[in-house]
Amino acid sequence: MIVLGRIVAPFGVNGWLKVHPFGDDPLSWRTMPTWWIGQRDDTQRIEDWKPCKPRGVRAHGKSIVLALDEVVDRSAAEAISGWFLAAPREALPKPAKDEYYWADLVGLEVVNAAGQSLGVVESLVETGAHAVLVVKADEVERLIPFVGAYIMDVDLNSRRIQVSWEMDW
């Protein structure tokens, strides 16, 4: 399961949900006929997620608002505030060239132009301007902006990201 976002609050009285998306194009998810909700974001088994049918999705600032057939009123929306939205990998729209799902980046080794290993991507952080890779090697944590100035290559097959970044930065 790929976690897509977090339900942050009810939106209105008809069961709509305000969602903080973990991606930069959440409206592309409208093509998915089923979305899944769950209380935890670290659960990978599809059986731990409840399938839901979307009846409406629209942009709302940097968030989206979503209506699910299974959430009929504000009380039902309040009951799942703080839950997560997810989808199995095969249900997601295929990313465009040079676009990646965060879940695909976590766990990749990060090396610099000199071939030195800087560690492994532990997570990503969205700063508003761009995403930042959180790279860990033993006790050292590096925060590397996920922007073209620093990211030289992402090779999902080799499970490696090459960056323009020095060991002592």
- Do 130 and 149 touch, CB atoms closer than 8 A? no
Give the pairing of strands 63-68 and 84-87. unpaired
The token pair at 167 is 């060991």
Angle value at C-alpha 66, between 102 and 4, nearest 5 degrees: 10
In the chain the domains, ranked by start, together with CATH numbers, are 2-91 (2.40.30.60), 102-163 (2.30.30.240)
Per-residue pLDDT of the chain (169 residues; tens, 9 = 90+): 889 999 999 999 999 999 999 877 888 888 899 999 999 888 778 899 999 999 999 999 989 999 999 999 999 999 999 999 999 988 888 888 888 888 899 999 999 999 999 999 999 988 878 889 999 999 999 999 999 999 999 999 999 999 999 999 8
- Whole-model pTM: value is 0.73
Non-local (6+) Cβ contacts of 18 within 8 A are: 7, 8, 9, 10, 11, 60, 63, 64, 65
